[in-house]
Structure 1
Amino acid sequence: MVDEERPPEVLNEKLSQFLVHWDGPDDPENPKNWSKLKRWYVTVFGSLLVFNASFASSAPSGILPQLIVDWNMSTEIATLLIAIFVLGYCVGPIFWAPLSEAVGRRPIFIIAFTLYTIFQVACAVAPNTGALIAFRFLGGLCAACPLTNAGAILADMWDPDNRGRAIAFFALAPFAGPALGPIVSGYMTVAGVHWRWLFWVLTFFAAACTIGIVFTVPETFAPTLLTRKARALRKKTGDTRYFSALEVMEKNPRRLAYLIFGRPFKMLIREPMLFFITLYMSFVYGCIYLLFEAFPIVFTLGHHMDEGTSGLMFLPLFLGGCTGAASYLFLFNPRYEKHIERFAPKAVPPEYRLEMAFIGAPIFAIGFFWFGWTSFPSISFWSPMMATSLLGLGVVLIFLSLFNYIIDAYLMVAASALASSTIVRSLFGAAFPLFATQMYNRLNPRWASTLLGCLAVLMIPIPFVLRVWGARLRRKSKYAPTD
């Protein structure tokens, strides 16, 4: 890794002939040379894992009224069931992402999703409020695994020239899950289904994904695959001198502690571009979860909708996100392909990934102003509802742009870069719902949304500044490879 000492065995030129590499640029064992069908399957399945994790985060929002009645739960504690799950996203990446760079992606996915399934069962049979909150946190901790590692899988399989289309699915998934969760749980409540059944549904979904990982998802991390290749060579030839770079890395508690606790935070502190990208994505992510508290105030109380109909108000948010993904595939990605031809044979600088954020940033701010100032009960619900489509469009354009930028800029340590970003982003996602109700009640929906719109305006310059100064910052970075 770029910030660790190289073992003497790797640096010693006399032993370099026994250091196992790929057999040329077309080695079929290299994940980047797998068939497109195989790579697309792993990409779509990885996105499904992200959707699963993010869907579970917001799904309880529709059953909260039942819990409040059944267990005499306060509104603040009920809201904590969503926030505590997202808080688990802050802890999980500290372990899952760096460990995946030490032992491989597949075993970490299997462990995390097996535990995630178990904790969904525990939520379904929880005997009291404290147990339910604890199991929700542990479930969120395990669900954090695909939020960081699925993006790293894309970096394992796709080169920068072709990664864009794959990222479109990945960036939509963490946004689609929270948007669709309230719709399902809201109509379960309207249908009179007991709240425990929601967690059984989440259990079945998690179990199906776990089975899919075990039987269909291969290892994609190149150092782990090269380790397997080295073992096969030793067995085939009887020569024990063959080794992989991963095998000779010193495996002691100090190194593991650094991988787990050190690198993600070290990168966040030392990398200005990662810091500001994380700040922007965290604000946007927090706003998504804030809407779970804002929508009931605007639509359930203001327009007297039931939980099911109020959940449907999230649908334009999701459709706006789909529009953003489609615009990337049919508009922005073809533009990027022209840049590939322009810069060939060199890679396109990561700053060219920021074009979507130039458009998405102002759209996101406009969406909040529109949502806020049409949220009067006397105005048709169609206006604030359709305003959320702009929020969805802006979120996906921003996320697609910045996800691509992070992976392109921090290719070899993408999992750690995404981990530090996910940790901070999840803190915002957990915190925003906790003050959203009080903010919207005290300021009223108009001024509360205006405040968020103004903050969004202050964030707009970030991608523009990175476009101008990003290359200079990367040249000074230890983690971002440059030509």
Structure 2
Amino acid sequence: MTMNHDYDVFCSPRQARKWVDFLCFISKIDDPKSHTAFQKHVIVSIITLSAFTAPFASSILFPSFTSLVDQFHTTDTQVALTTTVFLIGLAIAPLWWSSLSQQYGRRPILVASFLLSVVAVIVCAVSNSLPLIIVFRLIEALGCSSAQSVGAGVIADIYIPTERGTALGWFYLGTLIGPLIAPIVGGALQVWLGWRANLFFMAIFTFCTAMLTVLLLPETLVKPAAEEAPKLSFLQAVRRDALAPFSKLKFLLIPSIVLSISYVSICFASLYCFNTTLPYAYSAAPYHFSAIEIGLCYISNCLGYAIGSVVGGKLSDAKLRQYQQTHDGAVEPSVRIHTVWYGVGFVPAGLIIYGWLVEEKTFWLAPLVGAFLFGLGLMLITSTIMPFLVDVVPGAGASVVADLNLVRNLLAAVGTVVSPIAADNIGFGWWMTILAILCSLAVLFVVVVVWKDATWRKAKTGPEEAV
């Protein structure tokens, strides 16, 4: 019997393989949206794991902050820079990675960037200089941040619009749950092996993710022959790649995009404000929690994220399908925004409950109810707005998500610096109340998007080029 070499073991029609496609068990195909359901689930799993890596790495040192202060005889502010510079790298780098992935493919960019991150985190682990650790934490972030934007592009490559909401819900769950699981793992490693173990663990984890990408993530970007760009000299290619991200910032001039990004980013920054204050709250009287116990407190948020991810993505897809049925199959991404109302109330309520119950030093479990509600609301919001941002400019999903990462991580970096100072000066209750007020006021951005949606749709002349 003759084997048909146009099909791989997963029964998908193959496209001609390049060197970078070897070792992958799922072949690159002409139409990535025709991958089997099983293949798509595998691809989403790998992308979610990749998206999880950078936020996880950003927070894994939280339980080790006091040890780093003692180790390097420095201040809390100096040690906090290890997270601040990481978030800055996480904000900026995806702009370049999304452009490079469009030029060279999703798969090689993900693998190469993660290997860069592995090298950087190993340098951090063996370093005896805090400034050197800070510099290479930035490089680590530049590497592992690629999945933040490229991952959204992969999902857009393999799913039709009415199926993307659920897939993006899982993808975004990886980006949000990382900062919450990291302190649990980091606290355990800190107690058992010391702060360097956190960084060595991160090197192993990032390398394993890169290898899983090699084995299980096929190239999903398929360009028509007509789109092949003319060959450039090395210097011309470097100049093109260096300047390409700046053109992506123009998406922030589209009102519906910048308003949606602003709302999500304020809520996301509140997450990092919460993350940085919880260790201080639960290590003090009357709780006196250990590093491991503090890490376990983040489970409450994780439960909220898991529920919000599943429910939010399905609500978003269902709303879009409902619109299609009444509009002759037309797809209008902004329809998804109408499901954001399910989560907007939980975010400020959760922050206020957590902040004031911690302030009043109630039974340790009570404030975590607020943390659960905050996590539930944040995921319901993001699993609605994320697919909207991926679809709103056809073909430019990765670039719009890169803009989102820029804004939200810059605000989160500010939050990690300001939050401990604010909590120390005005207390947890008032600080969380201020954040709740900001999140509540930011809902007006979404109100404007919904209110002006029809007008903007008629006048829309925005950029339509690919990522």
Q: Which interval holds the TM-score relative to the shorter structure?
A: 0.7 to 0.9
1:246 equivalenced with 2:228 (yes/no)? yes
* 1:76 matched to 2:60: no
Larger mean Cα displacement after TM superposition, 433-442 or 86-95: 86-95
1:309-388 alignment runs, 5 A limit:
309-328=293-312, 331-347=315-331, 349-388=332-371
Q: After TM superposition, give the deviation of residue 120 of structure 1 in Å.
A: 1.6
Q: Of the candidates 248, 262, 265, which is equivalent to residue 249 of structure 2?
A: 265
- CA distances 1:310-349 after superposition (whole Å, capped 9, x unpaired): 12111101111111013235555444433333333222x1
Instruction: Supply the distance in 2 between the matched residues of 1:480 and 1:357 (Cα, whole angstroms).
Output: 25
How many Å apart are 1:96 and its aligned residue? 0.6
Aligned to 1:117: 118
Query: 1:3-22 maps to which residues of 2 (within 5 A)?
Result: none
Distance (Å, rounded) in 2 between the aligned partners of 1:432 and 1:369: 17
* Contact 1:290 1:432 survives alignment (8 Å): yes
Q: Residue type of the partner of 1:33?
A: S
Deviates further, 471-480 or 44-53: 471-480
CA distance in 1, matches of 2:216, 2:289: 43
Q: How far apart are the structure 1 equivalents of 2:251 and 2:361?
A: 50
What is the deviation of 1:258? 4.1
1:465 maps to a residue whose letter is V
Give how far 1:211 is off: 1.0
Amino acid at match of 1:280: Y
Name the stretch that deviates more: 114-123 or 292-301.
Answer: 292-301
Determine whether 1:181 maps to 2:182.
yes
Matched position secondary structure for 1:458: helix
Task: After TM superposition, give the deviation of residue 275 of structure 1 in Å.
Answer: 1.3
Residues 297, 196 of structure 1: alpha-carbon distance in 2 compared, 3 angstrom cutoff: closer
- Identical counterparts, % of pairs: 23
Corresponding residue to 2:290 among 286, 291, 306: 306
Deviations 1:367-398 (A, max 9, x none): 11111221235411221111000110111111
- Once the two structures are TM-superposed, the CA of residue 188 in structure 1 deviates from its matched residue by 2.2
Q: 2-side partners of 1:194 and 1:458: how far apart?
A: 42
- Structure 1 residue 407 and structure 2 residue 390: aligned? yes
- What is the distance in 1 between the residues matched to 2:361 and 2:242? 57
Q: Distance in 2 between matches of 1:255 and 1:274?
A: 25
TM-score normalised according to structure 1 size: 0.85
AA paired with 2:250?
Answer: K
The C-alpha deviation readout for 1:208-234, integer Å capped at 9, x for no partner, is 1111122221111121xx3xxxxxxxx
Check the 8 A contact 2:316/2:336 in 1, yes or no. no
- Is there any run of 5+ residues in structure 1 with no aligned partner, and where? 1-26, 227-242
- Structure 1 residue 202 displacement after superposition: 0.7
Contact 2:350/2:369 (8 A) holds in 1:
no
Instruction: Tell me the CA shift for residue 250 of structure 1.
Output: 7.2
Whole-Å Cα distance in 2 between the matches of residues 471 and 222 of structure 1?
A: 33
**RMSD of the TM alignment (CA)?**
2.0
Render the CA deviation track for 1:248-303: whole Å, top value 9, x for unaligned: 4878456444422x2222221x2122211221122112111112221123221142
The structure 1 segments of at least 4 consecutive aligned residues displaced by more than 6 Å after TM superposition are none
Name the amino acid aligned to 1:167: L
Distance in 2 (alpha carbons) for counterparts of 1:289 and 1:197:
23
Is 2:460 aligned against 1:476? yes
State the match for 1:221 in structure 2. Answer: 221
* Structure 1: distance between partners of 2:264 and 2:59: 18
Paired with 1:299 and 1:394, the residues of 2 have a C-alpha distance of: 23
Partner letter of residue 93 of structure 2?
G
What residue is the counterpart of 2:137 in the other structure?
136
1:85 equivalenced with 2:67 (yes/no): no
Question: 1:375/1:57 Cα in 2 relative to 1: closer, same or farther (>3 Å)?
Answer: same
Which position in structure 1 is the counterpart of 2:24?
Answer: none
Q: Quick one: structure 1 residues 477 and 326, their matched pair in 2 at CA, closer, same or farther if it must change by over 3 Å?
A: same
Find out whether 1:51 has 2:34 as its counterpart: no
Residue 58 of structure 1 contacts residue 82 of structure 1 at CA under 8 Å; is this kept in 2? yes
Amino acid aligned to 2:195: W
Q: Distance in 1 between matches of 2:114 and 2:216?
A: 14
Q: Confirm or deny: 8 A CA contact 1:271 1:477 kept in the other structure.
A: no
Per-residue CA distance 1:76-107 (angstroms, 9 max, x = gap): 11111111111111221231111112222112
**8 Å contact from structure 1 (residues 50, 174) kept in 2:** yes
> In 2 relative to 1, CA 28–214 (structure 1 residues): closer, same or farther, beyond 3 Å?
closer
**What is the deviation of 1:182?**
0.7
Q: How many residues align?
A: 433
Question: What SS does the corresponding residue of 1:375 show, helix, strand or coil?
Answer: helix
Q: Shift in Å at residue 461 of structure 1?
A: 2.1
Letter in 2 for 1:327: V
Match of residue 62 from structure 2? 61
Instruction: Give the structure 2 partner of residue 237 of structure 1.
Output: none
